[in-house]
Structure 1
Amino acid sequence: MSWRILALSALGCMALLVAIGGTWLLLLPGSPARGSAPAISRDEAEATLAALKPPKRKRPLIAIVGINDMSETTDYLMPYGILARADVADVLTLATQPGPVTLYPALKVQPHATIAEFDAAHPDGADYVIVPAMTPENDATVLQWIRSQAGKGAIVIGVCVGAKVVANTGLLDGKRATTHWYSVGDLRKHSEIRYVADRRLVVDRGAATTTGITASMPMALTLVEAIAGRAKAEAVARDIGLAAWDARHRSDAFGFTRPFALTAIANSLAFWNREQLGIALTPDVDEVSLALIADAWSRTYRSRALTLAATAQAQTSRGGLGILPDRIADDWPAKQTLPAAVALPPAQALDETLRAIGARYGSRTADFVAMQLEYPR
C-alpha cells in the first residue's frame, strides 16, 4: 500500500476530526475480528499448484518488474530474495527505465536490467512476471509490457496492490482476484473482476493475485513448491523461519478500524518527534529481512529507516542484488540505530521488528504497522 496514500488518509482523518468533532470515528469498527482462518482443502491447494506450474521452461525465468520511483519495498524485494535463495529459477529484477529503483517507503536498489534489455535478451518472454504495488498504477509503459509478457505465455502475479496494476492491463477481466484490504473497493470498481475473500493467494487462468504486503512470502513459497516440489519449499520455508504458507486468510481481521485511524492521527500529529533510524548495510545482507525491517519502521508515522554505508558503492545482498545506501556515514547515533535483526531469518526478523516498534512507540503503533502489512500476527 502506498505511503503517499496512507499519508493522505491520515491527513484526511485529521481534517474530518477537526470538521465534525470526531463523530466519524464512532462510525468506524473497533478492534478487528479474531480467530483462525478456515483451512484450505487439499483439492484447492493442488489446483493452485497445478495452475502455477512452469508454463514454458524446466528451469523457469522470473521477472520482477517495477517503475523507477514508488515501487513498494517488500513487494519488490521479498519475492526476489526468497526465489533467489531457493535457486529453482533464474530471477531478474527489472525497471522501466535505466538507473536505480527508489522503493517506497524505504530502500534503493540497482535492478538487473531494464524491460527493453530484458526483451532483447529474452524475446520469448518470462515464465512468470511478478508485479508489485507501484504509484502510479496506470503507467503506460509497464502496462504494455505486462500485456506483452502475458501474450508470450507468462503467468502474471500481482502482489498486494500490484493487483490493481494487473487489473489495469485487463488481464484480470472475467477472473477471480484479491488484493490488499485497503484497495478491495478499488478492485471491485472493475466490474469484470470477481473479488475473493479469505484467501492470501488467488490463481485464475494465467493470473495470480495476493492480499497485502507480507502475502508475498507465502506466494513465493507456493511458487517454489509449484516449480520444484513440496520438499524444496519446506526447506526454503525452514530457512526463512516460516512454518506454513498456504492460502488461508481471514479477511475480516483487516480493515480501517477506529484504533487504526486514531493511531494514524496521533502519530501524524507528533511531527516534532519524527526519527531517522539507521540500518548499516553489510555485504551479503539478507534482502528479505532488510526489506521487512525498513518497510515496517517506515510505516510507523513516527520514523523512517535509512541505510548507511562508508561509501556510495552499492552493497551486494545475499541474493546478488545491489542495495544503495541512503547516507554515507561510518556510524549513526546509538539511539537511532536499529538492532541487527537483518541477521535473523526473515519471518523472525519481522516479528522482532514489530516487538521493537511496540517497545519504542507502543503496542498500538505495532498493530498499526502490522495492519498496513496485512500481517496475521
Structure 2
Amino acid sequence: MIWRILAWSALGGLAALAAIGGTWLLLLPGAPARGAAPAISSEESEATLAALKPPKRRRPLIAIIGINDKSETTDYLMPYGILARADVADVVTLATQPGPVTLYPALKVQPHATIAAFDAAHPDGADYVIVPAMTPEDDAAALQWIRSQAGKGATVIAVCVGAMVVANTGLLDGKRATTHWYSVGDLKKHSAIRYAADRRLVVDRGVATTTGITASMPMALTLIEAIAGRARAEAVASEIGLAAWDARHRSDAFQFTRPFALTAIANTLAFWRREQLGIALTPGIDEVSLALIADAWSRTYRSRALTFAAAEQAQTSRSGLGILPDRIAADWPAAQTPPAATGLPPVQALDHALRAIDARYGPRTADFVAMQLEYPR
C-alpha cells in the first residue's frame, strides 16, 4: 500500500510540474517583434564619437581584460581582431592570472600579459579597457583592476554581459547603460543604473556598454572612427563585411520566446545526438571569423566546436594572438567537420555558419543561435 501511495504521489508531482511548465511556455511570446530599429540622429552619433575620443595618447593603448576561465569567446577575441587589423592603436589581451585564457563556449588563447605585468609596463594605465562577459561577474582581481584603470583616466567599454562586471565595480552608478537582452532584468536590479533601450552602444561619462555578443563589431568600428576618422572605419568595415555600424537597435526584437525555450529544451534533451565538431587551426587564421564560427556552433545545444592541430603549440592568428588547439590531431572525421568558413570575412563567416546550422539542425536552431548572439537575420 505504501509503495502505491508513493507512486501516485510521484505521478501527481510530475503532472503538477508539467502543468506549471506548460503554463509557463504558453505565457511566453510566440515570436519576437519585427520591424526596423529607430534611427539615430546625427547629433547623437557625433556625441558618441566625441565621448569616445582618445583620453590620453595620440596613438591609444587598448587593453582587453579576461579572467582565465570562462571569458566569453567573441567578446574577448572580436574587439582584439578588429582593432588590431585597423592599426590605429596598440591592442593587448590580458588575463588576471598567469596562463592561458579558456574562453566560453569555445577556444583557448595565450594572452599577451597579466594585469600585473601590464601595470608594471604601463603605470599610467590604458586609454581604453574592454571588458567582456565573464563568469563569475564579481572576480575580485578583475573588478579592482578595472576600477584602478578608470581612476587613471581610461574609458571603460563593456561588451555584452560585461556590463554586469562593470556594474559590480560601481562605475555605472548614475549612468545610462545597456547589455545583452537576456541580462537586462539583472541590469535593472541595479537601481542606480538607467537602462537605455533601442541602442546597441551607449556611452555615458567615461563608460560605454553594448548589447549582445555581435555588438562588439559596431562598437569596435565606432571606436576606430573616434580614434582615426570615418574613412579608416569604413575601410575596416568593408574588410570584415559590415555595411553599417551605428547604434540603432530594436530591443524588443530580442527576447525569450516560446520557440527559443522549446528549442533549448528539445536540443538539451537530445543529448545522445550531441556532436563534437573539429575546426582546423592554421597559422594566420582570422581570429574574428574563428571566434564567430566556434561561438555559433557551440551554442546550438547540439554541438560543441573544438579546434585541432598536428602539434600542441599555439598557432599564431592573423593579428598575432596565440590560439591553443583543444585536440592534437592531423585531421578530423569529415562528418564532424563544419563547412569551412574561417577564410571568409567575419560577417560572411557567421552567415555561412548560421546557414550550415540551419541545414544540419533546422531553422529553429539557427534562429536560436542568432538570438543568443543578438545577431539580426
Q: Check whether TM > 0.5.
A: yes
Partner SS state of residue 332, structure 1: coil
1:375 corresponding residue in structure 2:
375
- Structure 2, unaligned runs of 5 or more: 1-13
Residue in 2 that maps onto 1:87 = 87
Q: Residue in 1 aligned with 2:309?
A: 309
2: CA distance, partners of 1:20 / 1:260? 18
Distance change in 2, residues 1:105/1:221 (3 Å): same
Distance in 1 between the 2:322 and 2:305 partners? 18
Query: What residue in structure 2 maps to residue 323 of structure 1?
Result: 323
Is 1:174–1:192's contact at 8 Å kept on the other side of the alignment? yes
The CA deviation at 1:376 is 1.2
How far apart, in 1, do the equivalents of 2:77 and 2:15 lie?
A: 35
Shift of 1:23: 1.7
**Structure 1 residues 243-271: Cα deviation after superposition (integer angstroms, max 9, x where no partner):** 00000000000010000000000000100
Q: Where does residue 177 of structure 1 map in the other structure?
A: 177
Moved more, 110-119 or 17-26: 17-26
1:129 aligns with: 129
- What CA distance in whole angstroms lies between the structure 1 residues aligned with 2:96 and 2:229? 33
* Residue 333 (structure 1) aligned with residue 333 (structure 2): yes
Task: Give 1:312 shift.
Answer: 0.2
Q: Which amino acid aligns with 1:195?
A: Y
* Residues 338, 356 of structure 2: 8 Å contact kept: no
Q: Which residue identity does 2:141 align to in structure 1? A: T
1:266 is aligned to 2:266: yes
Q: Is the 8 A contact 1:17 1:24 kept in 2?
A: no
Q: Which residue of 2 aligns with 1:4?
A: none
Mapped to 1, the partners of 2:51 and 2:211 lie a distance apart of 18
Deviations 1:130-170 (A, max 9, x none): 00000000011000000000000000000000000000000
Following the alignment from structure 1 to structure 2, what is the Cα–Cα distance between the partners of residues 87 and 22?
53
C-alpha displacement of 1:66? 0.3
1:356 aligned residue: 356
Computing the radius of gyration from Cα coordinates, the structure with the larger value is 2
Between the aligned partners of 2:264 and 2:338, the Cα distance in structure 1 is 22
Q: Which residue of 1 aligns with 2:36?
A: 36
| TM-score, structure 1 normalization | 0.95
Task: Verify the 8 A CA contact 1:16 1:24 in the aligned structure 2.
Answer: no
Quick check: 1:72–1:103 contact (8 Å CA) kept in 2? yes
> 2 CA distance for matches of 1:107 and 1:293?
11
> What do the CA deviations read for 1:174-213 (whole angstroms, capped 9, x no partner)?
1000000000010011111000000000000000000000
Shift of 1:19: 5.8
- Which residue does 2:66 correspond to in 1? 66
Equivalent-residue separation in structure 2 for 1:340 and 1:92 (angstroms): 28
Q: Deviation at 1:22?
A: 1.3
CA pair 21-43 structure 1, distance change in 2 beyond 3 A? closer
Amino acid at match of 1:324: L
Whether the 8 Å CA contact 1:16–1:22 is kept in 2: the answer is no
Tell me the distance in 1 between the aligned counterparts of 2:307 and 2:38. 40
State the number of aligned residues. 364
Native 8 Å contact 1:65 1:130 kept in 2 = yes
1:224 counterpart residue number: 224
Query: Within the alignment, does 1:299 sit opposite 2:306 as a pair?
Result: no
Show CA shifts across 1:43-89 (max 9, x none). Answer: 00000000000000000000000000000000000000000000000
Could you tell which deviates more after superposition, 73-82 or 339-348? 339-348
Deviation at 1:24, TM superposition (A): 1.1
The answer to whether residue 41 in structure 2 is matched with residue 55 in structure 1 is no
Q: Provide the residue aligned with 2:144 in structure 1.
A: 144
Gaps of 5+ in 1: 1-13
Corresponding residue SS for 1:191: coil
Partners of 1:246 and 1:104 lie apart in 2 by 27
**Which residue in 1 is equivalent to 2:120?**
120
Question: Which amino acid letter does the alignment assign opposite residue 257 of structure 2?
Answer: T
> How far apart are the structure 2 equivalents of 1:363 and 1:208?
34
Is 1:17–1:23's contact at 8 Å kept on the other side of the alignment? no
> How far apart in 2 are the matches of 1:21 and 1:308?
40
- The residue number in structure 1 matching 2:96 is 96
**Secondary structure in 2 aligned to 1:185?**
helix
1:100-135 residue CA offsets vs partner (Å, 9 max, x unmatched): 000000000000000000000000000000000000
For 1:259-311, what per-residue CA distance to the aligned partner results, in whole angstroms no more than 9, with x for missing partners? 00000000001000000000000000000000000000000000000001000
- Report the residue type matching 1:135 in the other structure: T
Runs of 4+ that moved beyond 4 A: 14-17
Normalized against structure 2, the TM-score is what?
0.95
1:66 and 1:364 mapped to 2: Cα distance? 32
Partner residue of 1:11? none
C-alpha distance in structure 1 between counterparts of 2:333 and 2:240, whole Å: 30
- 1:75 aligns to 2:97 (yes or no): no
1:155 aligns with 2:145: no
Whole-angstrom distance in 2 between the partners of 1:339 and 1:154: 41
Distance of 2:16 and 2:53 partners within structure 1: 49
Task: Please state how far the C-alpha of 1:17 moved relative to its aligned partner.
Answer: 6.1
User: Is the Cα contact below 8 Å between 1:176 and 1:202 reproduced in 2?
Assistant: yes
User: 2:233 — aligned with what?
Assistant: 233
Secondary structure at the residue paired with 1:342? coil
| Alignment partners' CA distance in 2, 1:269 and 1:165 | 31
**Structure 2 match to 1:284:** 284
Counterpart amino acid of residue 307 in structure 2: T
Identity of aligned residues (%): 87
